[in-house]
Amino acid sequence: MHFSGFKIIKEALTGHKGWKPTWRTPDPKTEYDIVIVGGGGHGLATAHYLAKVHGITNVAVLEKGWLGSGNIGRNTTIVRSNYLLPGNEPFYEWSMKLWEGLEQDLNYNAMMSQRGILNLCHSDAQRDAFARRGNAMIMAGADAVLLDETGVRDMCPYLDFDNARFPIRGGLLQPRAGTARHDAVAWGYARGADSRGVDIIQICEVTGFQIEKGVCKGVETSRGRIGAKKVAVCVAGSSSRVMEQAGMRLPIESHVLQAFVSEGLKPVLPGVITFGAGHFYISQSDKGGLVFGGDIDGYNTYAQRGNLPVVEDVCEGGMAIMPMIGRARMLRMWGGVMDMSMDGSPFIDKTPIEGLYFNGGWCYGGFKATPASGWCYAHLLATDQPHPVATEYRLDRFRRGRMIDERGAGAQPNLH
Ligand SMILES: Cc1cc2nc3c(=O)[nH]c(=O)nc-3n(C[C@H](O)[C@H](O)[C@H](O)COP(=O)(O)OP(=O)(O)OC[C@H]3O[C@@H](n4cnc5c(N)ncnc54)[C@H](O)[C@@H]3O)c2cc1C
Protein backbone atom coordinates (compact mmCIF):
# COMPACT_ATOMS: atom_id res chain seq x y z
CA MET A 1 0.00 0.00 0.00
CA HIS A 2 1.56 3.27 -1.15
CA PHE A 3 0.74 6.43 0.80
CA SER A 4 0.15 9.57 -1.26
CA GLY A 5 -2.00 12.69 -1.26
CA PHE A 6 -4.15 11.07 -3.92
CA LYS A 7 -4.69 7.98 -1.71
CA ILE A 8 -5.75 10.13 1.26
CA ILE A 9 -8.30 12.04 -0.85
CA LYS A 10 -9.62 8.78 -2.35
CA GLU A 11 -10.02 7.18 1.09
CA ALA A 12 -11.64 10.31 2.51
CA LEU A 13 -14.24 10.19 -0.26
CA THR A 14 -14.87 6.44 -0.01
CA GLY A 15 -15.32 5.95 3.74
CA HIS A 16 -11.73 4.95 4.61
CA LYS A 17 -12.37 1.31 3.74
CA GLY A 18 -9.17 0.76 1.73
CA TRP A 19 -6.54 1.16 4.47
CA LYS A 20 -4.66 -2.02 5.33
CA PRO A 21 -2.75 -2.93 8.53
CA THR A 22 0.70 -1.35 8.51
CA TRP A 23 2.40 -4.69 9.13
CA ARG A 24 1.35 -8.36 9.32
CA THR A 25 1.08 -10.44 12.51
CA PRO A 26 2.87 -13.68 11.55
CA ASP A 27 3.61 -16.67 13.76
CA PRO A 28 7.31 -17.30 14.25
CA LYS A 29 9.01 -19.81 11.92
CA THR A 30 11.35 -22.42 13.41
CA GLU A 31 14.43 -20.98 11.70
CA TYR A 32 15.60 -17.67 10.21
CA ASP A 33 18.82 -16.40 8.66
CA ILE A 34 18.86 -13.54 11.14
CA VAL A 35 16.87 -13.04 14.35
CA ILE A 36 16.85 -9.48 15.71
CA VAL A 37 16.10 -9.26 19.43
CA GLY A 38 14.24 -6.02 20.26
CA GLY A 39 11.63 -4.26 18.16
CA GLY A 40 12.66 -0.73 19.04
CA GLY A 41 13.83 1.85 16.54
CA HIS A 42 17.26 0.27 16.08
CA GLY A 43 15.99 -3.29 15.63
CA LEU A 44 13.35 -2.25 13.11
CA ALA A 45 15.76 0.00 11.20
CA THR A 46 18.25 -2.88 11.05
CA ALA A 47 15.57 -5.17 9.63
CA HIS A 48 14.56 -2.55 7.06
CA TYR A 49 18.11 -1.98 5.80
CA LEU A 50 18.93 -5.72 5.85
CA ALA A 51 16.01 -6.26 3.50
CA LYS A 52 16.31 -3.13 1.41
CA VAL A 53 20.08 -2.67 1.09
CA HIS A 54 21.34 -6.25 1.41
CA GLY A 55 18.37 -8.24 0.11
CA ILE A 56 18.28 -10.39 3.28
CA THR A 57 14.62 -10.97 4.08
CA ASN A 58 14.53 -14.28 5.97
CA VAL A 59 14.62 -12.20 9.14
CA ALA A 60 12.51 -11.97 12.30
CA VAL A 61 12.29 -9.09 14.75
CA LEU A 62 11.29 -10.38 18.20
CA GLU A 63 9.74 -7.83 20.53
CA LYS A 64 8.74 -8.68 24.09
CA GLY A 65 6.03 -6.00 24.23
CA TRP A 66 4.42 -4.02 21.44
CA LEU A 67 6.26 -1.95 18.85
CA GLY A 68 7.10 1.45 20.27
CA SER A 69 6.76 0.40 23.92
CA GLY A 70 10.45 1.03 24.61
CA ASN A 71 12.54 4.14 24.29
CA ILE A 72 11.70 4.69 20.63
CA GLY A 73 8.25 5.81 21.82
CA ARG A 74 9.49 7.60 24.94
CA ASN A 75 12.22 9.97 23.81
CA THR A 76 12.10 13.73 23.31
CA THR A 77 12.55 13.27 19.54
CA ILE A 78 15.69 15.38 19.06
CA VAL A 79 17.72 14.68 15.94
CA ARG A 80 21.17 16.27 15.55
CA SER A 81 24.75 15.58 14.55
CA ASN A 82 26.66 18.11 16.67
CA TYR A 83 29.44 15.79 17.87
CA LEU A 84 33.13 16.52 18.29
CA LEU A 85 35.16 13.33 18.16
CA PRO A 86 36.22 11.57 14.95
CA GLY A 87 34.82 8.26 16.26
CA ASN A 88 31.36 9.84 16.56
CA GLU A 89 30.82 12.77 14.18
CA PRO A 90 30.94 10.90 10.81
CA PHE A 91 28.47 8.33 12.18
CA TYR A 92 25.96 10.91 13.44
CA GLU A 93 26.30 13.01 10.28
CA TRP A 94 25.57 9.89 8.22
CA SER A 95 22.48 9.42 10.41
CA MET A 96 21.47 13.02 9.75
CA LYS A 97 21.73 12.46 6.01
CA LEU A 98 19.56 9.34 6.31
CA TRP A 99 17.02 11.33 8.36
CA GLU A 100 16.84 13.90 5.58
CA GLY A 101 15.70 11.27 3.08
CA LEU A 102 13.87 8.98 5.50
CA GLU A 103 10.28 9.85 4.71
CA GLN A 104 10.85 9.34 0.99
CA ASP A 105 12.73 6.10 1.66
CA LEU A 106 9.95 4.73 3.89
CA ASN A 107 7.02 6.41 2.09
CA TYR A 108 5.87 7.32 5.60
CA ASN A 109 5.34 10.67 7.31
CA ALA A 110 7.77 10.78 10.23
CA MET A 111 7.11 14.51 10.73
CA MET A 112 10.81 15.28 10.32
CA SER A 113 11.18 18.95 11.14
CA GLN A 114 14.61 20.56 10.68
CA ARG A 115 14.08 23.57 12.89
CA GLY A 116 17.61 23.63 14.27
CA ILE A 117 19.24 23.05 17.63
CA LEU A 118 20.83 25.82 19.67
CA ASN A 119 23.36 24.93 22.41
CA LEU A 120 23.74 27.91 24.74
CA CYS A 121 27.13 28.96 26.10
CA HIS A 122 27.77 30.92 29.26
CA SER A 123 31.50 31.66 29.37
CA ASP A 124 34.46 32.38 27.09
CA ALA A 125 35.82 28.89 27.70
CA GLN A 126 32.53 27.31 26.67
CA ARG A 127 32.40 29.47 23.54
CA ASP A 128 35.92 28.32 22.62
CA ALA A 129 34.82 24.70 23.09
CA PHE A 130 31.78 25.29 20.87
CA ALA A 131 33.97 26.92 18.18
CA ARG A 132 36.13 23.79 18.20
CA ARG A 133 33.07 21.52 18.05
CA GLY A 134 31.55 23.57 15.23
CA ASN A 135 34.78 23.34 13.23
CA ALA A 136 34.94 19.56 13.77
CA MET A 137 31.35 19.30 12.55
CA ILE A 138 32.03 21.36 9.42
CA MET A 139 35.13 19.27 8.67
CA ALA A 140 32.94 16.15 8.80
CA GLY A 141 30.47 17.66 6.32
CA ALA A 142 27.89 18.84 8.87
CA ASP A 143 26.61 22.38 9.39
CA ALA A 144 27.36 24.65 12.34
CA VAL A 145 27.00 28.38 13.08
CA LEU A 146 28.58 30.10 16.06
CA LEU A 147 26.23 32.79 17.39
CA ASP A 148 27.12 35.71 19.63
CA GLU A 149 24.75 37.01 22.28
CA THR A 150 22.90 39.24 19.79
CA GLY A 151 22.40 36.28 17.47
CA VAL A 152 20.82 34.28 20.29
CA ARG A 153 18.70 37.29 21.40
CA ASP A 154 17.33 37.61 17.87
CA MET A 155 16.21 33.96 17.95
CA CYS A 156 14.99 33.71 21.55
CA PRO A 157 14.53 37.11 23.20
CA TYR A 158 12.77 35.57 26.22
CA LEU A 159 15.78 33.69 27.59
CA ASP A 160 17.33 34.95 30.84
CA PHE A 161 20.45 36.52 29.32
CA ASP A 162 21.51 38.18 32.58
CA ASN A 163 21.13 35.16 34.82
CA ALA A 164 23.59 35.79 37.68
CA ARG A 165 25.11 32.31 37.54
CA PHE A 166 24.76 31.40 33.85
CA PRO A 167 24.63 34.60 31.74
CA ILE A 168 24.09 33.70 28.08
CA ARG A 169 27.09 34.69 25.96
CA GLY A 170 26.17 32.99 22.66
CA GLY A 171 25.50 29.59 21.24
CA LEU A 172 26.30 26.91 18.71
CA LEU A 173 23.51 26.44 16.17
CA GLN A 174 23.06 23.43 13.92
CA PRO A 175 20.34 24.56 11.48
CA ARG A 176 19.77 21.08 9.96
CA ALA A 177 19.00 19.49 13.34
CA GLY A 178 15.45 19.26 14.66
CA THR A 179 12.83 16.75 15.71
CA ALA A 180 10.92 13.79 14.22
CA ARG A 181 7.82 12.01 15.48
CA HIS A 182 9.35 9.09 17.38
CA ASP A 183 6.65 6.42 17.12
CA ALA A 184 6.07 7.17 13.44
CA VAL A 185 9.74 6.30 12.94
CA ALA A 186 9.14 2.86 14.51
CA TRP A 187 5.99 2.32 12.45
CA GLY A 188 7.65 3.47 9.23
CA TYR A 189 10.62 1.15 9.65
CA ALA A 190 8.31 -1.72 10.65
CA ARG A 191 6.26 -1.16 7.52
CA GLY A 192 9.37 -0.96 5.35
CA ALA A 193 10.76 -4.23 6.73
CA ASP A 194 7.42 -6.07 6.73
CA SER A 195 6.66 -5.11 3.14
CA ARG A 196 9.91 -6.85 2.08
CA GLY A 197 9.07 -10.06 3.96
CA VAL A 198 10.58 -9.57 7.43
CA ASP A 199 8.48 -11.17 10.21
CA ILE A 200 7.76 -8.75 13.04
CA ILE A 201 6.69 -10.77 16.06
CA GLN A 202 5.32 -8.88 19.05
CA ILE A 203 4.71 -10.24 22.57
CA CYS A 204 7.65 -12.61 22.09
CA GLU A 205 10.29 -12.28 24.82
CA VAL A 206 13.74 -13.75 24.36
CA THR A 207 14.51 -15.71 27.53
CA GLY A 208 17.81 -17.35 26.59
CA PHE A 209 20.33 -18.12 23.86
CA GLN A 210 21.16 -21.50 22.38
CA ILE A 211 24.93 -21.53 22.49
CA GLU A 212 26.74 -24.73 21.48
CA LYS A 213 30.54 -24.91 21.58
CA GLY A 214 30.87 -21.12 21.44
CA VAL A 215 28.43 -20.75 18.54
CA CYS A 216 24.99 -19.13 18.89
CA LYS A 217 22.41 -21.24 17.08
CA GLY A 218 19.21 -19.46 18.07
CA VAL A 219 17.11 -18.11 20.91
CA GLU A 220 14.68 -19.41 23.52
CA THR A 221 11.55 -17.30 23.63
CA SER A 222 8.19 -17.11 25.37
CA ARG A 223 6.85 -18.59 22.11
CA GLY A 224 9.34 -21.45 21.88
CA ARG A 225 12.78 -21.97 20.38
CA ILE A 226 13.67 -20.09 17.21
CA GLY A 227 16.79 -21.12 15.30
CA ALA A 228 19.00 -18.56 13.57
CA LYS A 229 22.30 -18.39 11.71
CA LYS A 230 22.88 -15.01 13.31
CA VAL A 231 21.31 -13.39 16.38
CA ALA A 232 21.41 -9.60 16.62
CA VAL A 233 20.62 -8.10 20.02
CA CYS A 234 19.47 -4.47 20.27
CA VAL A 235 17.37 -4.10 23.39
CA ALA A 236 18.59 -0.67 24.63
CA GLY A 237 17.82 -0.37 28.38
CA SER A 238 17.59 -4.16 28.77
CA SER A 239 21.06 -4.78 27.28
CA SER A 240 22.75 -6.02 30.48
CA ARG A 241 19.88 -8.33 31.39
CA VAL A 242 19.60 -9.88 27.94
CA MET A 243 23.35 -10.32 27.36
CA GLU A 244 23.69 -11.84 30.82
CA GLN A 245 21.67 -14.75 29.40
CA ALA A 246 24.57 -15.30 26.99
CA GLY A 247 27.05 -15.14 29.88
CA MET A 248 28.36 -11.67 28.95
CA ARG A 249 28.95 -8.68 31.22
CA LEU A 250 28.79 -5.32 29.44
CA PRO A 251 30.38 -1.94 30.20
CA ILE A 252 26.81 -0.62 30.53
CA GLU A 253 24.59 0.45 33.44
CA SER A 254 20.87 1.12 33.21
CA HIS A 255 19.43 4.39 34.52
CA VAL A 256 16.04 6.01 34.08
CA LEU A 257 15.59 9.23 32.07
CA GLN A 258 12.41 11.27 32.41
CA ALA A 259 10.66 13.52 29.90
CA PHE A 260 7.98 16.15 30.41
CA VAL A 261 5.39 17.91 28.28
CA SER A 262 3.40 21.05 29.03
CA GLU A 263 -0.05 22.11 27.92
CA GLY A 264 -0.27 23.28 24.29
CA LEU A 265 0.93 26.84 23.70
CA LYS A 266 1.19 29.09 20.66
CA PRO A 267 4.47 28.64 18.73
CA VAL A 268 7.19 30.17 20.87
CA LEU A 269 10.34 28.10 20.37
CA PRO A 270 12.09 28.26 16.98
CA GLY A 271 13.69 24.83 17.44
CA VAL A 272 15.48 22.84 20.10
CA ILE A 273 17.32 24.79 22.83
CA THR A 274 19.80 23.17 25.20
CA PHE A 275 21.18 24.61 28.41
CA GLY A 276 24.27 22.51 28.98
CA ALA A 277 25.45 24.26 32.12
CA GLY A 278 22.38 23.16 34.04
CA HIS A 279 21.39 20.25 31.81
CA PHE A 280 17.99 21.22 30.49
CA TYR A 281 16.72 20.92 26.92
CA ILE A 282 13.44 21.92 25.35
CA SER A 283 11.55 21.95 22.07
CA GLN A 284 7.93 22.50 21.06
CA SER A 285 5.79 19.82 19.52
CA ASP A 286 3.53 20.41 16.53
CA LYS A 287 0.58 20.32 18.97
CA GLY A 288 2.17 23.20 20.89
CA GLY A 289 3.34 21.32 24.00
CA LEU A 290 6.75 22.24 25.39
CA VAL A 291 8.70 18.98 25.43
CA PHE A 292 11.63 19.03 27.85
CA GLY A 293 14.00 17.01 29.95
CA GLY A 294 17.29 17.04 31.79
CA ASP A 295 19.48 14.64 33.73
CA ILE A 296 19.03 10.93 34.31
CA ASP A 297 17.97 9.80 37.78
CA GLY A 298 21.24 9.01 39.53
CA TYR A 299 20.63 5.38 40.45
CA ASN A 300 20.55 2.09 38.55
CA THR A 301 17.10 0.79 37.66
CA TYR A 302 15.08 -1.08 35.06
CA ALA A 303 11.84 0.70 36.06
CA GLN A 304 10.33 2.88 33.36
CA ARG A 305 9.45 5.65 35.79
CA GLY A 306 11.51 8.23 37.65
CA ASN A 307 11.49 10.05 40.95
CA LEU A 308 10.65 13.52 42.22
CA PRO A 309 14.16 14.98 42.85
CA VAL A 310 14.85 14.96 39.09
CA VAL A 311 11.45 16.53 38.38
CA GLU A 312 12.47 19.40 40.64
CA ASP A 313 15.97 19.60 39.13
CA VAL A 314 14.65 19.72 35.54
CA CYS A 315 12.07 22.37 36.38
CA GLU A 316 14.75 24.45 38.14
CA GLY A 317 16.89 24.20 35.00
CA GLY A 318 13.97 25.42 32.90
CA MET A 319 13.25 28.30 35.24
CA ALA A 320 16.91 29.33 35.30
CA ILE A 321 17.17 29.73 31.56
CA MET A 322 13.61 30.50 30.52
CA PRO A 323 11.66 32.00 33.46
CA MET A 324 8.43 32.28 31.44
CA ILE A 325 8.16 28.48 31.52
CA GLY A 326 7.00 28.87 35.14
CA ARG A 327 3.61 30.04 33.82
CA ALA A 328 3.00 26.89 31.76
CA ARG A 329 1.19 23.91 33.28
CA MET A 330 2.87 20.52 33.09
CA LEU A 331 0.62 18.01 31.39
CA ARG A 332 2.42 14.69 31.78
CA MET A 333 5.76 12.99 32.31
CA TRP A 334 7.21 9.55 31.72
CA GLY A 335 10.47 7.62 31.93
CA GLY A 336 12.56 5.24 29.86
CA VAL A 337 15.49 3.00 30.76
CA MET A 338 18.82 4.16 29.36
CA ASP A 339 21.68 1.82 28.46
CA MET A 340 24.43 4.11 29.74
CA SER A 341 27.87 3.08 28.52
CA MET A 342 30.98 4.03 30.48
CA ASP A 343 32.21 6.58 27.92
CA GLY A 344 28.83 7.73 26.66
CA SER A 345 29.32 6.16 23.21
CA PRO A 346 27.57 3.13 21.72
CA PHE A 347 28.54 -0.36 20.55
CA ILE A 348 27.82 -2.00 17.19
CA ASP A 349 29.93 -5.12 17.20
CA LYS A 350 30.31 -8.89 17.02
CA THR A 351 30.59 -10.59 20.40
CA PRO A 352 33.17 -13.28 21.26
CA ILE A 353 30.35 -15.81 20.72
CA GLU A 354 30.17 -16.70 17.03
CA GLY A 355 26.86 -15.73 15.45
CA LEU A 356 25.92 -13.37 18.30
CA TYR A 357 26.02 -9.62 17.64
CA PHE A 358 25.40 -6.65 19.93
CA ASN A 359 24.10 -3.13 19.43
CA GLY A 360 23.60 -0.90 22.51
CA GLY A 361 25.03 1.66 24.90
CA TRP A 362 23.11 4.50 23.26
CA CYS A 363 22.64 6.37 26.52
CA TYR A 364 20.04 9.13 26.01
CA GLY A 365 21.13 9.88 22.45
CA GLY A 366 20.03 6.86 20.49
CA PHE A 367 16.96 8.25 18.75
CA LYS A 368 18.97 10.47 16.43
CA ALA A 369 21.22 7.48 15.73
CA THR A 370 18.35 5.21 14.67
CA PRO A 371 18.88 5.35 10.87
CA ALA A 372 22.69 5.05 10.98
CA SER A 373 22.58 2.42 13.71
CA GLY A 374 20.21 0.31 11.63
CA TRP A 375 22.28 0.90 8.49
CA CYS A 376 25.60 0.02 10.16
CA TYR A 377 24.24 -2.95 12.12
CA ALA A 378 22.70 -4.34 8.93
CA HIS A 379 26.08 -3.86 7.21
CA LEU A 380 27.88 -5.72 10.02
CA LEU A 381 25.34 -8.56 9.97
CA ALA A 382 25.41 -8.89 6.20
CA THR A 383 29.17 -8.58 5.63
CA ASP A 384 30.73 -9.41 9.03
CA GLN A 385 32.70 -6.16 8.67
CA PRO A 386 32.07 -2.93 10.58
CA HIS A 387 30.69 -0.10 8.47
CA PRO A 388 33.35 2.60 7.81
CA VAL A 389 31.51 5.19 9.96
CA ALA A 390 31.11 2.77 12.90
CA THR A 391 34.59 1.26 13.17
CA GLU A 392 35.21 2.62 16.68
CA TYR A 393 32.07 1.21 18.31
CA ARG A 394 33.81 -1.96 19.48
CA LEU A 395 33.09 -3.90 22.65
CA ASP A 396 36.78 -4.22 23.53
CA ARG A 397 37.60 -0.51 23.28
CA PHE A 398 38.02 -0.09 27.06
CA ARG A 399 40.52 -2.93 27.16
CA ARG A 400 42.41 -1.32 24.27
CA GLY A 401 42.24 2.16 25.85
CA ARG A 402 40.24 3.52 22.88
CA MET A 403 37.36 5.16 24.76
CA ILE A 404 35.21 7.66 22.84
CA ASP A 405 34.63 10.06 25.69
CA GLU A 406 32.66 12.80 23.91
CA ARG A 407 31.87 14.74 27.09
CA GLY A 408 35.26 14.23 28.69
CA ALA A 409 33.49 13.03 31.83
CA GLY A 410 35.51 9.85 32.34
CA ALA A 411 34.28 6.35 32.87
CA GLN A 412 31.16 7.26 34.80
CA PRO A 413 27.84 6.40 33.17
CA ASN A 414 25.73 8.80 35.19
CA LEU A 415 27.79 11.73 33.89
CA HIS A 416 27.34 10.97 30.20
C1 LIG B 1 12.86 10.29 28.15
C2 LIG B 1 13.82 10.00 27.03
C3 LIG B 1 14.24 11.03 26.21
C4 LIG B 1 15.14 10.76 25.16
N5 LIG B 1 15.42 11.77 24.29
C6 LIG B 1 16.21 11.53 23.21
C7 LIG B 1 16.40 12.54 22.24
O8 LIG B 1 15.83 13.63 22.31
N9 LIG B 1 17.22 12.27 21.19
C10 LIG B 1 17.86 11.08 21.07
O11 LIG B 1 18.62 10.91 20.14
N12 LIG B 1 17.64 10.07 21.96
C13 LIG B 1 16.82 10.27 23.02
N14 LIG B 1 16.56 9.26 23.92
C15 LIG B 1 17.25 7.97 23.76
C16 LIG B 1 16.62 7.06 22.73
O17 LIG B 1 15.23 7.02 22.88
C18 LIG B 1 17.22 5.65 22.86
O19 LIG B 1 18.63 5.72 22.91
C20 LIG B 1 16.85 4.76 21.70
O21 LIG B 1 15.47 4.84 21.42
C22 LIG B 1 17.24 3.31 22.02
O23 LIG B 1 17.10 2.44 20.93
P24 LIG B 1 15.73 1.65 20.55
O25 LIG B 1 14.81 2.61 19.91
O26 LIG B 1 16.08 0.48 19.75
O27 LIG B 1 15.23 1.24 22.01
P28 LIG B 1 13.85 0.64 22.47
O29 LIG B 1 12.69 1.30 21.80
O30 LIG B 1 13.87 0.67 23.97
O31 LIG B 1 13.94 -0.84 21.92
C32 LIG B 1 14.42 -1.95 22.62
C33 LIG B 1 13.32 -2.99 22.58
O34 LIG B 1 13.81 -4.23 23.06
C35 LIG B 1 12.74 -4.88 23.68
N36 LIG B 1 13.25 -5.95 24.53
C37 LIG B 1 13.92 -5.84 25.69
N38 LIG B 1 14.21 -7.05 26.17
C39 LIG B 1 13.72 -7.97 25.29
C40 LIG B 1 13.71 -9.37 25.25
N41 LIG B 1 14.27 -10.11 26.22
N42 LIG B 1 13.11 -10.00 24.18
C43 LIG B 1 12.54 -9.25 23.19
N44 LIG B 1 12.52 -7.90 23.20
C45 LIG B 1 13.11 -7.27 24.23
C46 LIG B 1 12.04 -3.79 24.45
O47 LIG B 1 10.71 -4.12 24.78
C48 LIG B 1 12.14 -2.60 23.48
O49 LIG B 1 10.98 -2.47 22.69
C50 LIG B 1 15.66 9.46 24.97
C51 LIG B 1 15.22 8.43 25.78
C52 LIG B 1 14.28 8.68 26.80
C53 LIG B 1 13.78 7.57 27.66
Q: Domains in the chain, please, with CATH?
A: 5-77+183-250+343-400 (3.50.50.60)
- Its pTM surpasses 0.95: yes
- Does the beta carbon of 367 lie inside 6 Å of ligand 1? yes
- Asked if the model's pLDDT at residue 276 lies above 90, the reply is no
Instruction: Compute CA 82 distance to the chain's CA centroid, rounded to the nearest angstrom.
Output: 14
Nearest-atom number in ligand 1 for the CA of 78 is 8
Q: What is the pLDDT of residue 1?
A: 82
Question: What is the pLDDT, as a whole number, of residue 386?
Answer: 97
The pLDDT tens digits for 99-135 are 999 999 999 999 999 999 999 999 999 999 999 999 9
Whether 179 is in the pocket of ligand 1, judged by its Cβ within 6 Å, is no
Q: Can you state the angle between helices 124-139 and 89-100, rounded to 10 degrees? A: 70
- Alpha carbon separation from 271 to 28, 113, 279 (Å, rounded): 43, 9, 17
CA separation for the pair 131, 17 (Å, rounded) = 55
For residue 241, how far is its CA from the centre of ligand 1 (angstroms)?
A: 14
**Closest ligand 1 atom to Cα of 41:** 25
Q: Which atom of ligand 1 is nearest to the CA of 339?
A: 19
CA of 306 to the centre of ligand 1 (A): 16
Q: Rounded to the nearest 5°, which phi and psi values hold at 294?
A: -155, -125
Q: Do 375 and 50 touch, CB atoms closer than 8 A? A: no
Q: Does ligand 1 have an atom closer than 6 angstroms to the CB of 46? A: no
Residue 414 clears pLDDT 90, i.e. is over it: no
Nearest to 381 by CA among 242, 217, 186, 231: 231
Is the CB of residue 201 below 6 angstroms from any atom belonging to ligand 1? no
Ligand 1 pocket check for 37: Cβ under 6 Å:
yes
> What's the DSSP call for residue 202?
-
**Among the ranges given (59-63, 111-115, 161-165, 367-371), the one the predictor scored with the smallest mean pLDDT:** 161-165
276 pocket-lining for ligand 1 (C-beta < 6 Å): no
DSSP readout, 264-304? Answer: E-SS--SSEEEETTTTEEEEE-TTSEEEEEEEEEEEE---S
- E strands, 242-390, are 252-264, 272-275, 280-284, 289-300, 330-341, 347-350, 356-360
What would the mean pLDDT of 72-87 be, rounded to a whole number?
Answer: 97
If you average pLDDT over residues 172-198, what whole number do you get? 97
pLDDT tens digits along 46-59? 999 999 999 999 99
